[in-house]
Amino acid sequence: MNESEYIPIAALNQYAYCPHRCWRMFCAGEFTENEYTIEGTSLHDRVHSLSQEKQGEDWQIRAIWLKSRQYGLIGKSDLIEASNGEIFPVEYKRGRKGEWDNDELQVGAQALCLEEMTGKSIKIGYVYYAHSHHRQEVEISEDLRDRVRQTITDIQRLFTDNIVPQAVYSPRCRGCSLKSRCLPQATAKVARYQEIS
Ligand code: SF4
């Protein structure tokens, strides 16, 4: 597989949040900032300066690239830690833990890359929520691995078929930076009108 065909790990997060948003960002090349994305970008800019710390057998590395040939995934990590013989990814997010599982999916994808790169089994990862200063543990369970693999398959299909997933209005649209372009409520109204006419 050519490296340009690799799926960005962040695309899994976007796809799990909304397939239509994923298509707009990664196929149509659209992106619009809102207060949440600006805050998120500035958090990642602070985290994404390459650095390394070591204390005995434990270490932390920031901003290294993760890659999986097996799954065709690539992406920059926020933080990789080793502690008590275990290695785990930590993904930084603004805000608090939301109702959706897209952040867990991103950590699961990072864990699959790390396993391939280190040859070690990754059992847990974390999402660090900057507002609440809380590290949410993510178990790298079989169920999460299956969901990561299924999402990779779905995104591969999205990238090759380039069929636009329908914009479905939901509570997620409230915080979406692409809402003013996507107009999901108007799309839903047009679809309803077409159904009854
Ligand atoms: S506004 Fe809603 S439907 Fe449109 S891209 Fe955002 S989350 Fe998806």
Give the Å distance between the CA of 168 and the centre of ligand 1.
7
Instruction: Return the percentage of the chain with pLDDT > 90, whole number.
Output: 60
Pocket test for ligand 1, best of 24, 99, 178, 187 (most atoms within 8 A of CB): 178
Give the CATH number for residue 95.
Answer: 3.90.320.10
| Ramachandran assignment for 141, one of left (phi > 0), alpha (psi -120 to 50 degrees), beta (any other) | beta
Query: Which pLDDT tens digit goes with each residue over 39-67?
Result: 667 666 666 666 778 888 889 999 899 99
Q: How confident is the model at residue 5 (pLDDT cuts 50, 70, 90)?
A: confident
Provide residues with CB under 6 Å of ligand 1.
18, 20-21, 24, 167-168, 172-173, 176, 178-179, 182, 184
Q: How confident is the model at residue 2 (pLDDT cuts 50, 70, 90)?
A: confident
Task: Write down the pLDDT at residue 104.
Answer: 94
Q: Extract the tokens encoding 184.
A: 């999901």
Q: How confident is the model at residue 69 (pLDDT cuts 50, 70, 90)?
A: very high
pTM: 0.87
Give the Å distance between the CA of 14 and the centre of ligand 1.
10
Q: How many domains does the chain have?
A: 1
Sign of CA dihedral 126, 76, 28, 158: negative
For 57, the domain range is: 3-196
